[in-house]
Amino acid sequence: MNSKKNFLSSLFRFPIRTFFLLAILIHCNKKDTVSVLEVRDLTEKDNLVEALQKAEEELKRKGNTGELLYIRGWIRYLQKNQKAAKDDFLLCLQLNPDSMDCKRGLGLVYEADKDYDKAETAYREALTISAKHGLDAQAVLRENLGNLFLRQNRRKEAAEEFRTSVSLSDKGDAYYGSTLCMMMEGDTEGAIASLEKGVTKTFRGKALKSESHFLLAKFYYEKRKDPIKAEIEIKKAIEIFPLHKEYLDALRTYTKERIQSGL
């Protein structure tokens, strides 16, 4: 039981700013000014204070625009300033009621505040206007719903959302979510198979890619008793985040076991 809890806790191990950073890049507008792109670049590098300053400078220069409010809302959300982020997203929606990004951002704010009913409503509203944004945008929202349902222990609904996301875009992120659903159901072999397939796919960001390799390594070591495969997978996670202490500790454990076993 404790092992299962440890696996499930991995879904929320990363700071929210890392977990959802992908959205800022997914919907980039090719007509962005250099200043807006610079703000996004700073946000990607986690220079959030400087990014916020530049976003506010742009707002003062241009006035309120939906896109800039969206960016500032994201920065505030990443800083866990939920109230200010919510205000920006709501103002963005006043200017552009059909902004899928701002509706999704609002959903994430509600989810962070544990207002799950409002979060689900916001995600579903975003989903209704997502078709024109392409299949990957729809897939992201399905993953948002899946993650939301996991937080509420709505396992079957979560699993269905991740399956739908896979059918729309086939990204590794959705396989990671499916893996956690299987863990909650005690389906270890299904979880391993899901991870093995997921790590071969494209991921939207580094966090879930590294975590997928980490979890797969953990499965190989703890469930399959295979330190060789575990060592291979954890090295892939370390390639993504070379200074991650938990990954480095795991590598030492797996390498030691492999050597002691004469493998």
Angle between helices 116-128 and 135-151 (to 10 degrees): 170
Q: What is the pLDDT of residue 79?
A: 84
Please give the model's pTM, rounded to 2 decimal places.
0.78
Determine contact, residues 68/36, Cβ cutoff 8 Å: yes
Which amino acid is residue 263, in one-letter code? L
Contacts of 242 (CB under 8 A, 6+ apart): none
Flag residues of the chain having pLDDT under 70.
1-60, 62-64
Domains of the chain, residue spans: 206-262
Closest alpha carbon to 157 in 169, 168, 143: 143
Q: What is the pLDDT of residue 66?
A: 78
Angle between helices 206-222 and 2-9 (to 10 degrees): 160
Tell me the per-residue pLDDT of 74-99, one tens digit each, with 9 for 90 and over.
888 888 899 999 999 999 999 999 99
Per-residue burial over 180-194, b = 16 or more CB atoms within 10 Å of its CB, e = otherwise: bbbbbeeebeebbeb
